């Protein structure tokens, strides 16, 4: 039997856990890693920022579109982006994996390799987790973070006159989804943005230090996520398309697929860029660029001063 043919059932729960945890180097903030009933993670600030997301095969990822390593990276990235969006520094992730017994062992080990790679990119470790049987592959990740003696940056602090700024890619993941949906696997850079986003983790704490009044990561689409800030803060938000970056690569892909790349930028999710509001007098941190302004209450989300006809954002059960 080839090693690639060995299933998780044949491997066994505890041998599989050993295989994905043994020899991994934990960062200093993980005081006690896998092996006990619970992990121990340092909380220098005295408060812990926590977030959790669940990824389901066929809903959030497809293994015919993404390698297991990509899925592992994505599972960690979408959670750590939420930590960064609170203005916190990621400190640790906890992982739950459920899968059918006939899942190849190599799928799970590669999946966890991707998780470790993304965790290390953010400067954290995988400090613990669980594995169970299920009818399909399901991944749950809980991310922890530290505020560094700062107040959290919530969605509710924006005020009229604040500038709206973004850090990170917009529209790339949506373009990648469109490419994959047409049966293509290139351009690789566009497709990989869908397979494994790269949130700008360090940009969240920098924004907090610069005085960000509200912040969110772009998971459901720029207009939809700005709508969450507008609703929580009681403001309107106007996005200026002249200030949005529509890269040449997205323009090329849009032309090939008969799509408007601006739609991807405004309504496409899963890039996990960070978008925030800042006082008009604030100096934006490196990497942040202005894309709009917070307006008076009850003015809603507008694009170039007008209500947008674009349907924005992903919602489950729709």
> Is 270 annotated in some ligand binding site?
yes
> Is 52 annotated in some ligand binding site?
yes
318 pLDDT exceeds 60? no
> Is 146 annotated in some ligand binding site?
no
**Is the Cα dihedral 97, 99, 102, 103 positive or negative?**
negative
Q: Report the alpha-carbon distance of residue 17 to residue 36 in Å, rounded.
A: 12
Average pLDDT for the chain: 94
> CATH second-level architecture of 11-146?
2-Layer Sandwich (3.30)
More reliable by pLDDT, 291 or 1: 291
pLDDT of residue 313: 58
Band of the pLDDT at 1, cuts 50, 70, 90?
very low
Per residue in 222-232, is it b (16+ CB within 10 Å) or e — as a string?
bbbbbbebbee
> Is 286 annotated in some ligand binding site?
no
> Is 128 annotated in some ligand binding site?
no
According to DSSP, residue 279 is labeled -
Fold of 163-307: Phosphoribosyl-aminoimidazole Synthetase; Chain A, domain 2 (3.90.650)
> Is 217 annotated in some ligand binding site?
yes
> Is 130 annotated in some ligand binding site?
yes
pLDDT in tens, 76-99: 999 999 999 999 999 999 999 999
Band of the pLDDT at 308, cuts 50, 70, 90?
confident
Residue 267 CB neighbour total at 10 angstroms: 21
According to DSSP, residue 4 is labeled G
Residue 303 CB neighbour total at 10 angstroms: 21
> Is 228 annotated in some ligand binding site?
no
Band of the pLDDT at 317, cuts 50, 70, 90?
very low
Give the lowest-confidence range in 104-118, 173-187, 301-315.
Answer: 301-315
Give the lowest-confidence range in 15-24, 151-160, 278-287.
Answer: 15-24
How far, in Å, are 127, 142, 262 from residue 70 at the CA level?
Answer: 20, 18, 26
Band of the pLDDT at 197, cuts 50, 70, 90?
very high
> Is 186 annotated in some ligand binding site?
no
How far, in Å, are 7, 19, 195, 228, 270 from residue 64 at the CA level?
Answer: 18, 24, 11, 33, 18
What number is the average pLDDT over the span 59-75? 96
- Break the chain into its structural domains and give their ranges: 11-146, 163-307
């Amino acid at each position: 039997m080839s090693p690639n043919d060995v299933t998780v059932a044949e491997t066994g729960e505890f041998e599989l856990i050993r295989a994905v945890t043994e020899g991994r180097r934990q960062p200093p903030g993980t005081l006690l890693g896998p092996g006990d009933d619970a992990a121990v993670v340092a909380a220098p600030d005295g408060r812990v920022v926590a977030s959790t997301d669940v990824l389901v095969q066929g809903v959030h990822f497809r293994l015919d579109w993404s390698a297991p390593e990509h899925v592992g990276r994505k599972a960690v990235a979408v959670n750590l982006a939420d930590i960064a969006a609170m203005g916190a520094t990621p400190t640790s992730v906890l992982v739950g994996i459920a899968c059918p017994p006939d899942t190849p062992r190599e799928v799970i080990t590669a999946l966890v390799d991707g998780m470790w790679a993304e965790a290390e990119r953010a400067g954290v470790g995988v400090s613990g987790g669980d594995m169970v049987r299920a009818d399909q592959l399901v991944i749950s990740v809980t991310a922890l973070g530290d505020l560094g003696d700062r107040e959290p940056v919530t969605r509710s602090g924006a005020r009229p006159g604040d500038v709206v700024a973004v850090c990170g890619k917009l529209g790339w993941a949506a373009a990648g989804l469109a490419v994959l949906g047409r049966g293509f696997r290139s351009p690789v850079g566009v497709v990989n943005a869908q397979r494994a986003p790269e949130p700008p983790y360090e940009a969240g704490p920098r924004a907090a230090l610069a005085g960000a009044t509200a912040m969110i990561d772009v998971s459901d689409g720029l207009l939809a996520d700005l709508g969450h800030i507008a609703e929580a803060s009681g403001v309107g938000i106007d996005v200026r398309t002249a200030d949005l970056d529509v890269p040449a690569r997205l323009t090329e892909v849009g032309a090939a697929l008969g799509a408007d790349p601006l739609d991807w930028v405004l309504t496409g999710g899963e890039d996990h860029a960070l978008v925030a509001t800042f006082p008009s007098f604030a100096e934006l941190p490196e990497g942040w660029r202005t894309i709009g302004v917070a307006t008076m209450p009850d003015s809603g989300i507008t694009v170039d001063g007008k209500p947008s006809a674009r349907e924005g954002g992903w919602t489950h059960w729709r």
